């Protein structure tokens, strides 16, 4: 009887939450030896299960099923797989797991059974959602720093490289360190395939459905069972979709992990321990492709141990499956006599490109032509947003693909088409919309009033206004920026507790009544310049671990509050409510809950003083979108929701308007900064006899990177070869200004095959303090190449200066990353 299944379109869930699940795994392989000859013959297999569980929980995953044979143990994990051989362990974890955190626990467990690490290989592809990764993942040079801490003592230290295809879109990041003292183990071959943009009906098989529910059904129906027909399989189906399996056969394993969701579909296949003579690699690859039919895939082949070069070579020959074109092949010798070969392939027919055609951003176009009646705002926005250059005139927001690679190719194209030398920002409007949806679904009771100080980019403000945001302004200029958009005055709060008289007068003229205060003097000022003001008492509610604490300057102390409310009553100023801000970049969810609890006490205090019942609660900012340094947004939203239900229950306090003042949450992730490398120097460091490459870029501490000083930011960066890949910009023509290095010839070669070097990045001004990153691993770049700094939207441009005549970048390009926006 044939098995029927629901067609892909009906089974697939719509992709609403983004970023979606990260399928690309981090993979750690560590080999051990027994220097003293004391170890138990079972080796690592003797590590107790509770220690394995603890190690996995540090990496943020758990075991969901297990299968062993006489040679090794295999485990399917909540996020990928673990294999424990007597002298080798392989851990592969996907999503936002913290694989490197497992290393110290692994080394400790091994040392209890007299084993010492003698080789480490860490590898991963290029994440689909790099900004969703917690630090240090997503920034390979930071991952390498951690690996070096644990394995840098092996041999002459580890070697890290980023292998790339011709488009530099699909990178393979590899780190290997190997002891020269430990005896080489027997030859081992590993093949890893990473496949993206899976065929929709093939991917649909990995959703649980009424017709086929079990992992065993999926294994059979998809063809996975036939890949290695003699192996024993342990499979697992996730709810509502997703699949993992491990197979064991003698001393060899294979493993598959599938994320079937459309938009970020991904499958990986790995096999380790089969020798080239046992396995016809070409036909295995064909069978794997038959299961998933990806549009793009890569193969990484690697060896370890004592390899016969002939066999190693046969694994290195590029196979080019039918229907695909090979877009790059690179090979690297690694420590311990091993090597890695990396091939990338793209489907020929169908021409599915990840980069979508250029288009204007229709949502704002619609605002431009029709006006916009926001659900949340009290008045419709003006037919078009005054003072803001319409997107059509500024070149529109180009629709590009969802990955960092798509962003890089957009940036490269801009540089090459305009020949520009000045640094510039790119704002992804899709990120703003996505974060808006996340906020509204996680905290439906809290109306966001965007804090303009964080980043006053006019299109960002327009976009938020169109979505229905209110605004927190702290000065006359910020007030003007939002009143020009036609935002209703009751959707604006002048959230500066100590204002200049002329600024108060402007607010009064604009009809903006909400403002905060935390001193008696401010009440007298308001009485004089804006008697209609409706004030919110800002009280102190610190998160002491916040990145930028605010409590030393703002927020009335608890014992001052009663008196301040009394003064307001005496002056006849309407007290609308209370406000707090736990500090920017909050680290403690409890700080929000404590603030809400204290706010309720102030509501009660005001009533006990005979003031009319307050109707506004402002829980401030401090929020960080996922991937940024700070408290997880979902955790904060959950605690806030609970605290609101407890202290401001809907049943009795539905009339209380609850607002927040998020800045960083909406701005940080949405902006990337592109800067030009205009100076390079190679220096030899005394210690370790290592060389360091120093770069000068055209933005720095006095410009956008002031966030290092004032916002206590941690920056990450990726290289964007432009001059070295043969594409010129005006920057590349200034290459003659750069000091030449002995590696000049290399500089002219395309950066296809990338080795990372310890590097320093300086800003452009004459101050030594103007050092942007002092310990970063980068490929060797030359003048005219560029760097991209992601997550650069918060407290960057807004706080920069033009010291030394270097102005903060004034250009911003607009994109919409991902599928075309809804009309």
* Site for ligand PLP, rule CB under 6 A: 451, 454, 472, 495, 550, 581, 584-585, 620-623, 661-665
CA-closest candidate to residue 649, choices 660, 636, 637, 658:
658
Q: Which CB atom, from 595 or from 662, has the smaller least distance to ligand PLP?
A: 662
DSSP 822: P
User: Quick check: 660 and 443 in contact, CB under 8 A?
Assistant: yes
Report which secondary-structure segment, H or E, holds 500.
none
β-strands 811-817, 424-428: how paired? parallel
Phi, psi of 758, rounded to the nearest 5 degrees = -60, 130
Under 8 Å CB-to-CB from 570, ≥6 apart: which residues? none
The span from the CA of 5 to the CA of 17, in Å, is 25
Q: Which CB atom, from 347 or from 664, has the smaller least distance to ligand PLP?
A: 664
Sheet of 243-249, strand order: 232-237, 243-249, 252-259, 266-272, 188-196, 296-304, 338-347, 324-334
Q: Which CB atom, from 18 or from 584, has the smaller least distance to ligand PLP?
A: 584
What is the closest distance, in whole angstroms, from the C-beta atom of residue 35 to ligand PLP in the complex? 51
What is the closest distance, in whole angstroms, from the C-beta atom of residue 554 to ligand PLP in the complex? 7
What is the closest distance, in whole angstroms, from the C-beta atom of residue 619 to ligand PLP in the complex? 10
Q: Which CB atom, from 208 or from 538, has the smaller least distance to ligand PLP?
A: 538
What is the helix, strand, coil percentage profile of the chain, to 5? 30, 25, 40
What is the closest distance, in whole angstroms, from the C-beta atom of residue 488 to ligand PLP in the complex? 19
Q: Which CB atom, from 299 or from 526, has the smaller least distance to ligand PLP?
A: 526
What's 472-498 look like in SS3?
EECCHHHHHHHHCCCCCHHHEEECCCC
What is the closest distance, in whole angstroms, from the C-beta atom of residue 507 to ligand PLP in the complex? 15
What is the closest distance, in whole angstroms, from the C-beta atom of residue 548 to ligand PLP in the complex? 6
What is the closest distance, in whole angstroms, from the C-beta atom of residue 622 to ligand PLP in the complex? 5
User: Quick check: 364 and 399 in contact, CB under 8 A?
Assistant: no
Residues annotated as catalytic (active site), given as ranges: 766
Q: What is the SS3 assignment for 522?
A: helix
What is the closest distance, in whole angstroms, from the C-beta atom of residue 486 to ligand PLP in the complex? 22
Under 8 Å CB-to-CB from 520, ≥6 apart: which residues? 563, 564, 567
Q: Which CB atom, from 495 or from 589, has the smaller least distance to ligand PLP?
A: 495
What is the closest distance, in whole angstroms, from the C-beta atom of residue 450 to ligand PLP in the complex? 9
The span from the CA of 719 to the CA of 780, in Å, is 9
Q: Which CB atom, from 538 or from 718, has the smaller least distance to ligand PLP?
A: 538
Q: Which CB atom, from 43 or from 470, has the smaller least distance to ligand PLP?
A: 470
Q: Which CB atom, from 257 or from 547, has the smaller least distance to ligand PLP?
A: 547
Token pair listed for 658: 């609850």
Q: At what angle do helices 458-467 and 429-442 cross, to 10 degrees?
A: 40
Cβ-count burial 726-765 (b if 16+ within 10 Å, e if not): ebebebbebbeebeebeeeeebeeebbbbebbbbbbbbbb
Q: What is each CA distance from 615 to 578, 610, 654, 662, in whole angstroms?
A: 9, 15, 9, 20
The span from the CA of 270 to the CA of 452, in Å, is 48
What is the closest distance, in whole angstroms, from the C-beta atom of residue 456 to ligand PLP in the complex? 13
Under 8 Å CB-to-CB from 604, ≥6 apart: which residues? none
Report which secondary-structure segment, H or E, holds 433.
helix 429-442
The span from the CA of 453 to the CA of 253, in Å, is 55
Q: Which CB atom, from 142 or from 518, has the smaller least distance to ligand PLP?
A: 518
Compute the half-sphere exposure of residue 56: CA atoms within 13 Å on the CB side of its CA: 27
**Count of Cβ atoms closer than 10 Å to residue 797 Cβ:** 24
The span from the CA of 704 to the CA of 146, in Å, is 28
């Amino acid at each position: 009887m044939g098995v029927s299944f629901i067609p892909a379109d009906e089974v697939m869930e719509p992709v609403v939450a983004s970023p979606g699940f990260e399928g690309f795994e981090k993979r750690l392989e560590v080999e051990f030896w027994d220097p003293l000859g004391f170890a138990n013959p079972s080796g690592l297999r003797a590590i107790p299960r509770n220690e394995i569980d603890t190690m996995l929980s540090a990496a943020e995953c758990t075991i969901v099923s297990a299968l062993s044979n006489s040679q090794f143990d295999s485990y399917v994990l909540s996020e990928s797989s673990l294999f424990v051989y007597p002298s080798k362990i392989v851990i592969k974890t996907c999503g936002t797991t913290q694989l490197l955190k497992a290393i110290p626990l692994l080394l400790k467990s091994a040392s209890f059974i007299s084993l010492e690490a003698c080789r480490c290989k860490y590898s991963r592809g290029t994440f689909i959602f790099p900004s969703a990764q917690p630090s240090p993942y997503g920034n390979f040079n930071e991952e390498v720093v951690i690996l070096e801490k644990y394995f840098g003592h092996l041999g002459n230290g580890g070697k890290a490289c980023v292998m790339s295809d011709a488009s530099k879109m699909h990178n393979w990041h590899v780190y290997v360190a190997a002891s020269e003292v430990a005896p080489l183990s027997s030859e081992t071959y590993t093949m890893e395939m990473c496949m993206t943009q899976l065929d929709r009906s093939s991917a649909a098989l990995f959703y649980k459905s009424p017709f086929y529910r079990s992992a065993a059904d999926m294994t059979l129906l998809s063809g996975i069972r036939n890949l290695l027909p003699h192996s024993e399989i342990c499979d697992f189906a996730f709810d509502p979709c997703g699949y993992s399996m491990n197979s064991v056969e003698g001393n060899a394993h294979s493993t598959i992990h599938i994320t079937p969701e459309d938009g970020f579909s991904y499958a990986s296949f790995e096999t380790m321990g089969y020798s080239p003579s046992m396995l016809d690699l070409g036909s295995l690859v064909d069978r794997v492709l038959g299961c998933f039919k990806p549009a793009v895939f890569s193969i990484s082949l690697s060896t370890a141990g004592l390899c016969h070069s002939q066999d190693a070579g046969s694994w290195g020959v590029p196979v080019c499956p039918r229907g695909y074109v090979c877009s790059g092949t690179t090979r690297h010798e690694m420590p311990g006599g091993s090597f890695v070969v990396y091939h990338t392939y793209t489907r020929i027919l169908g021409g599915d490109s990840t980069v979508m055609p250029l288009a204007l951003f229709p949502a704002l176009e619609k605002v431009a032509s029709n006006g916009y009646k926001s659900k949340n705002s009290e008045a419709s926005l003006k037919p078009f947003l005054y003072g803001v250059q319409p997107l059509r005139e500024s070149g529109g927001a180009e629709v590009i693909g969802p990955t960092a690679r798509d962003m890089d190719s957009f940036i490269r194209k801009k540089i090459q088409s305009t020949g520009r030398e000045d640094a510039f920002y790119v704002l992804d409007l899709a990120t703003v919309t996505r974060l808006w949806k996340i906020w509204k679904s996680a905290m439906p009771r809290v109306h966001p009033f965007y804090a303009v100080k964080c980043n006053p980019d006019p299109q960002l403000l327009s976009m938020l206004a169109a979505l229905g945001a209110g605004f927190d302004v702290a000065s006359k200029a910020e007030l003007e920026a939002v009143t020009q958009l036609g935002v209703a005055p009751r959707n604006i709060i002048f959230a500066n507790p100590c204002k200049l008289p002329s600024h108060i007068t402007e607010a009064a003229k604009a009809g903006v009544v909400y403002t905060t205060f935390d001193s008696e003097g401010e009440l007298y000022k308001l009485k004089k310049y804006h008697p209609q003001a409706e004030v919110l008492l800002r009280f102190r509610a610190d998160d002491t671990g916040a990145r930028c604490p605010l409590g030393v300057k703002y927020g009335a102390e608890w014992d001052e509050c009663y008196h301040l409310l009394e003064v307001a009553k005496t002056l006849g100023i309407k007290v609308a409510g209370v406000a707090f801000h736990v500090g920017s970049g909050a680290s403690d969810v409890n700080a929000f809950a404590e603030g809400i609890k204290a706010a309720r006490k102030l509501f009660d205090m005001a009533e006990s003083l005979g003031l009319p019942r307050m109707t506004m609660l402002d829980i401030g900012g401090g929020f960080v979108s996922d991937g940024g340094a700070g408290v997880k947004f979902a955790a904060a939203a959950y605690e806030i929701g609970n605290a609101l239900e407890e202290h401001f229950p809907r049943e009795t306090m539905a009339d209380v308007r609850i607002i927040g003042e998020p800045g960083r949450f909406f701005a940080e992730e949405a902006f990337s900064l592109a800067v030009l490398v205009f100076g390079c120097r190679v220096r030899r460091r005394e210690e370790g006899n290592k060389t360091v490459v120093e770069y000068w870029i055209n933005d720095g501490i006095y410009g956008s990177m002031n966030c290092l000083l004032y916002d206590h930011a941690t920056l990450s960066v990726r290289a964007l070869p432009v001059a070295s890949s043969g594409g010129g910009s005006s920057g590349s023509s200034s290459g003659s200004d750069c000091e030449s290095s002995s590696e000049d010839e290399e500089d002219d070669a395309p950066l296809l095959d990338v080795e990372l070097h310890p590097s320093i990045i300086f800003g452009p001004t004459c101050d030594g303090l103007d050092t942007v990153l002092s310990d970063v691993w980068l490929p060797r770049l030359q003048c005219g190449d560029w760097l991209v700094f992601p997550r650069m939207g918060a407290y960057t441009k807004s706080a920069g200066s033009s010291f030394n005549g270097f102005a903060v970048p004034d250009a911003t390009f607009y994109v919409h990353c991902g599928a075309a926006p809804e009309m």
